[in-house]
Amino acid sequence: MAAPAFVERLNEQIGHEFSAHQQYIAIATYYDALTMPQMASLFYRQAQEERDHAMMMVQYLLDADHVPVIPAIPAPRVDFADVIEPVAAALDQERQVAEQINELTRIARDNNDYASDQFMQWFIKEQVEELSTMSDLLAVVTRSKDDYERIEDWVAREEGAAGTDPTAPRIAGA
């Protein structure tokens, strides 16, 4: 069984992950409406990843003999001033998630909950990748804010289809 403090915070994190999922859908549709299919596709994939992260957490709680509590989430932001703002918001969101993941890891360690600590290690690695991706994308979008085709070309070139990570935790329902 996982430490009660960890379970409580992981249930909160499930909400954060579903909230990120919704925010990325909103960002994807913003770019879709601008006829930027590469950017839209990138954020639709990001949305799916965030949903998968939430479902990995759900599965972990089930495996640890806890009933997951799926919290309500606020509506995502849907209005953006320009093509830069959604990526800046995504980077800020990833920074918050990194802090949340680190805090979950700290709670697991403080409670000698070694299984939960080990579970969180994959998410730490994932956040390094997410922060790098969004930081690079923000630099490109900022540099090319008036040239949508240049942004689209960069995304098409840099964002190949990612393979499945065999070290990833199981996704509930998958």
pTM, to two decimals: 0.92
What is the reported pLDDT for 160? 63
91: Cβ contacts below 8 Å, ≥ 6 apart? 131, 134, 135, 137, 138
Q: What is the mean pLDDT of the chain?
A: 95
pLDDT digits (tens, 9 = 90+) for 31-68: 999 999 999 999 999 999 999 999 999 999 999 999 99
Most distant CA atoms of the chain, gap in Å:
53
Q: How distant is the alpha carbon of residue 114 from its chain centre?
A: 24
What is the reported pLDDT for 147? 97
The pLDDT-based confidence of 127 (bands split at 50, 70, 90) is very high
What is the reported pLDDT for 174? 74
Architecture of domain 4-158: Up-down Bundle (1.20)
Between CA 9 and CA 69 the distance in angstroms is: 11
